[in-house]
Amino acid sequence: MANLMSSIADVIYFDNNATTPLAPEVCHAINTACVNAFANPSSASVIGKAAKKLIIESRSEIAQMINADFTDIIFTSGGTESNNWVVYSAIKYYYSKMSEKVSPNDFKSVPLPHIVTTEVEHDAMIEPIQKLVEEGKAQASFIAVDPKTGSIDLEDVLRVLKEETVLVSVMLSNNETGAIFPVAEIMQRVKAASKEYGNCFCHTDAAQSIGKMKIDVKKLNVDYLTIVGHKFYGPRIGALYVNKPGEKTPLPPLFFGGNQERGFRSGTENTPMIVGLGAAARLVNENLELYRNHMYQMKMLLHDKLVEMFETGSERPCVFFNHPNVTDQSNCLVNTISVAFYDPEWKSFTASAVLNNLSKVVASAGAACHSQQHNDSSAVTTPSRVLISCGVEEHIALRTIRLSVGRQTTAADIEEAVVQLYSAVSMAAQTKI
């Protein structure tokens, strides 16, 4: 264990979009709750009530982080559950409403519910929708990304809306390219159009955005918003914002067997992790601009050093940044660089070869969840579907590494990492595989 801890301390960590380390304050909050808040929060005992109070406080911190009412925050196991729950809720709502209008004999003639999303969403949104389509329970439109902007066109969303559209889900920012999507404008127009087409709910997956940009659910015009703790230095649980759950916005339970979370999610609350999530939210509430400014400074330093080290010409390869506005804070996350190393002579050269040659730098070839067999990114032999959907050519996508800096990144880290990257690229290039 000591050797493992020593090796972790020596790592230069540029994979913060995959997961972030727990903030020290979060670790302290979790450890304290494990000792002092071990009682069942549903218990009427003094210590049970104390645990419940901590959960309420955490819920309030999370609500403040996204400018929501604290009663609109439901704790979940993470982003996958939250996203699946949103899809399930919309589909169940649609069929429930149709059953009120159509007799059982005519129900087979009811049009399938329609979902609109993008081609570059996280698998936790794409796969449940695809599963419903495959089973003949829903229809879906997947909006392509404009390679010129790295985002989607509002008009493309409006063009596919129809009477049976029950859900529009557009991520707030992309985990691989860092592209920020105009969710507020899209959902405002969708809401206006849905008055004509039908009752459509709006969702955004904010997993990559929290802790990197200011988030206001009211300005975003969304009914649902996904929160993932381990993306902003919190524990591996999550939460789902739902605008007046069960009243204004449908949220049918996924689990049964208790009345926790006001009947929406049965199961004894994981108090220590919820307290940790609240602590992570508190840090964002108190320090967001500090975090943003630091990460952006580190990202710009990384960008400039990459250009300097891998400048075009002589025997050095070119570097391609897979976001048209990688240095623009309004269009790209303050911490994310998706970069490809390319030379025409490297016929089969891939990002995996570079990653295998890195001794201290931790990065990834695309999203961690997209790695083949969910192993480490060195196993990736096919280009990221997200990059391909963004219009990145396959030979560039195969040579792409995602570098995501964090709160803990230093200028010294970047200096050393770029040198290591140059060495790793040079070693991989010499193989001429």
Could you give the residue numbers annotated as active site? 369
What is the SS3 string spanning the chain?
CHHHHHHHHCCEECECCCCCCCCHHHHHHHHHHHHHCCCCCCCCCHHHHHHHHHHHHHHHHHHHHHCCCHHHEEEECCHHHHHHHHHHHHHHHHHHHHHHHCCHHHHHHCCCCEEEEECCCCHHHHHHHHHHHHCCCCEEEEECCCCCCCCCCHHHHHHHCCCCEEEEECCCECCCCCEECCHHHHHHHHHHHHHHHCCCEEEEECCCCECCECCCHHHHCCCEEEEEHHHCCCCCCEEEEECCECCCECCCCCCCCCCCHHHCCCCCCCHHHHHHHHHHHHHHHHHHHHHHHHHHHHHHHHHHHHHHHCCCECCECEEEECCCCCCCCCCECCCEEEEEEECCCCCCCCHHHHHHCCCCEECECCCHHHCHHHCCHHHCCCCCHHHHHCCCCHHHHCCEEEEECCCCCCHHHHHHHHHHHHHHHHHHHHHCC
